[in-house]
Amino acid sequence: MKNWLFLLSSLLITVAAVFLVNQWLGTFENPGYVLIGIGGWSMETSLIVFLVGLIVTFYVLYLFFRFLGWFVRLPSQVKNRSRSIKFNRSQDALIAGLVGSAEGNWEQAEKVLIKHASHSGAPLIHYLTAAKAAQSRGAYDKRDEYLKKAAAQAPGSDVAIGLTQADLHFSANQFEQALETLTKLHSMDATHAGVLKLMHQTYQRLGDWQGLRKLLPSLNKNKILLEAEIKKSEIDAFGGLLKQTIKQGNTDEMRLLWTEIPNHIKKNPAVAAIYFAAMINVGLGAEIESELVDVLTINWDETLLLLFGSLQSGDVFKQLEVAESLLPHHKNDGVLLTILGKLSFKCQNYEKAEDYLAKSLAIDPNVQAYRLLGDLYSVQGEEHKANSSYKQGLELASSGIVSQLDAAVLNS
């Protein structure tokens, strides 16, 4: 339309120019003439005809060269037009593919994306989205094929492609493959937030606590996780390493690992309980007794308290003294009172043991306190009271089992 308007306007200008020249020369009595001679050939005409012919010739030549230029450019214009159409279709296909993936129409989305990927201005997005769609429908071979094509189409996007690949492996529970890819990416960019975060998640899912331990400084330095998340990861890593070392049954390695754990992690009850329980189980409770008390004083915890009460101390009287030093701050703690009763019983201070156990049962009836009280009465020769305590303990244990079974039935 634009070209036709230009052609029409130029024609009107030409006609107007011819008219004006004719009118202007018509005002003269003798408008003049023009004589052109070349060799033996000559041409004579009026000035009006010559000028009109000159204007018309100029217009015709102008149109001719303009058409010639258009004709020369025609193949490239057709090619560009075709490319533009394909590009627009690829953009529409990309939108349709993204919408299809979001709606769960993975197979259809995959076909649309791949069909127009080669004509897109962003083929990488087509192939990566198609790879996600292929995985969503369980076509792992197709997923890997699209990832290879993405790498071929965008050789400078190794991190983006690799991170997508690792994320897909992670989503498919292929953690070993995900970690292999992430390790390569980490060697390329050791500070990439996406790589570090996914590595952190992968190590956790694999239970690779040594790998997570080595990664923690980078996570902290690059502010990948919140402070609370870093602390939890530290607890997970060192707690997992302790459990692995304990399974190996090497006490020296367990001690060595404990010395390498940061102090703020050692004071965490969950981590400390793992180490202390292992040392108590191998008969080395006396070695960790003072450290256990230090941690318990800082972070009051029932598990640590039970461990303290169960360890075989080299000096049970001192153990009782330490436990009693904790009582003013935890007067109504039934577990502590039970442990005090147990330690008093060991020290053969039966009157004090009975008093502590009675207070414990008044606050929080528990099977261990009833059993200890029964043992105490039995030692003192009060069999009737002993049998009564044992019976109450059994009834409490039975009611607990019944409650657990009822809860299991309700939750099933």
401 belongs to a structural domain: yes
Q: How far apart are CA 305 and CA 276, in angstroms?
A: 11
User: CATH number of the domain that 338 lies in?
Assistant: 1.25.40.10
155 torsion bin: left (phi>0), alpha (psi -120 to 50), beta (else): alpha
338 belongs to a structural domain: yes
Degrees to nearest 5, angle at CA 198 with 197 and 200: 65
Give pTM, 2 decimals. Answer: 0.68
Query: CB-hemisphere CA count at 13 Å for 70?
Result: 7
402 belongs to a structural domain: yes
144 belongs to a structural domain: no
396 belongs to a structural domain: yes
Backbone angles phi, psi at 107, to 5 degrees: -65, -45
Domain total in the chain: 1
Q: How confident is the model at residue 125, as a pLDDT?
A: 72
Residues in the chain with pLDDT values less than 50? 85, 87, 405-406, 408-410, 412
Q: How far apart are CA 361 and CA 341, in angstroms?
A: 11
**338 lies in which domain range?**
315-412
361 belongs to a structural domain: yes
* Token pair belonging to 8: 């029409």
- Contact at 8 Å (CB) between 369 and 341? yes
292 belongs to a structural domain: no
Q: How confident is the model at residue 147, as a pLDDT?
A: 84
Q: 180 in helix, strand or coil?
A: helix
136 belongs to a structural domain: no
